[in-house]
Amino acid sequence: MSNAPAPDVVVVGSANLDLVALAQRLPHPGETVSAHDYFEVCGGKGANQAIAAARAGANTAFIGAVGRDSAGDTLRDAFVADRVDVTHLHIVEQPTGRALIGVSDDAENLIIVVPGANHALSPSHIESAGAMLRSAKVLLMQLEVRLDVVQRAAELAGDATIVVLNPAPAIALPDALLWHVDVITPNEHEVELLGGAASLLARGVGAVVVTEGARGGRLVTREGETRISPYPVDPVDTTGAGDAFCGAVSARLALDGGLA
C-alpha cells in the first residue's frame, strides 16, 4: 500500500456482521413474534460509514478490528469490493462483532450490538496508523469502539484534517475529545443527551449537524442555525440511514471542503 494515494476519508470504527429479522411488527418487552424473512449482511457504524464514503466518491480507508473467523473474512471482502483500504483492519482473537436487528414492515428497527472484536481495537493500533491519520482530509469516527481509541485518533489527526464525530451510541464525552471535533452529527435524541447544540459549540465543537429523520435536519454553528430539507422518499428500511448520511457528508467535506 506504500504507493497508494493518501486517503480522502479515514474511518475509525466498528465492523459487525448484522443478523437481520424482518417481521410485521417489533415485539413488546417479554413478547415473541415470528419473522417472515431473515438475512445476514455486513454492518457496524464504522463499516457502514466507510463504504458510504467510498460509494460517494472518496478515497477511503478503514481502521478497525475483526475476529479470526468467517464473519471477519466476509467483512474484509466487503471492504475490498468497495475499494476501501484495509491496511489497518486488524485481526484479533475475539470474535467479530455482531448486531441483532429486528425490522418491522413499517420500517422501524430495534438493534442490539455485541461488540466482540471492536472492543479489542486499542490506542496502539491507532498509533500504528499515525501517518495515515495525519494525511487524511477527513477523519470520521463513532462510539462503537472504545473511547480511548476515539480520543487517540482525534489527537493524531493532521492540523488540516477535518474531524467528524458521530456520537452514537451516545455517552458522556470529555472536553478533551470535543476540542478536536470540527463536525459532530448527533440525531435529535443524542443531541439532547449531550446537552444540546449550544453546549457542544461552547465546549469546542466547530459545527453541529442534527439529523431528524423524515424532517431532515439542521446545521448549527456559532453564526446561527440552518434548516436542512429532506428528500421525499418512501422508506423501506431505516437501518443504517444515519451511517449513510455520515459517510456522504464526510465525502463531501473531503472532496468539496464545506457543509454548505
In a domain, 3, yes or no: no
d(CA 103, CA 235): 12
Pick the more confident residue, 240 or 43: 43
In a domain, 208, yes or no: yes
pLDDT at 240: 85
Tens digits of per-residue pLDDT, 41-91?
A: 999 999 999 999 999 999 999 999 999 999 999 999 999 999 999 999 999
Range of the domain at 34: 9-256
In a domain, 2, yes or no: no
Q: Kindly list the catalytic residues.
A: 243
- Which pTM was predicted? 0.91
Q: How sure is the predictor about 239, in pLDDT bands with cuts at 50, 70 and 90?
A: confident
DSSP state string for 68-104: SSHHHHHHHHHHHHTT-EEEEEEEESSPPEEEEEEEE
In a domain, 214, yes or no: yes
Tens digits of per-residue pLDDT, 86-143?
A: 999 999 999 999 999 999 999 888 989 899 999 999 999 999 999 999 999 999 999 9
In a domain, 125, yes or no: yes
User: Do 252 and 58 form a contact (C-beta atoms < 8 A)?
Assistant: no
Domains in the chain: how many in total? 1
Mean pLDDT of the chain: 95
In a domain, 4, yes or no: no
pLDDT at 111: 86
Hey, what long-range contacts does 156-164 have (CB within 8 A, 24 or more apart)? 156/126, 156/127, 156/129, 156/130, 157/133, 158/133, 158/134, 161/133, 161/134, 161/136, 161/137, 162/137, 162/138, 162/253, 162/254, 163/138, 163/139, 164/138, 164/139, 164/140, 164/246, 164/249, 164/250, 164/253
Q: How sure is the predictor about 237, in pLDDT bands with cuts at 50, 70 and 90?
A: confident
pLDDT at 227: 94
Q: How sure is the predictor about 1, in pLDDT bands with cuts at 50, 70 and 90?
A: very low
Residue 209: CATH number of its domain: 3.40.1190.20
In a domain, 1, yes or no: no
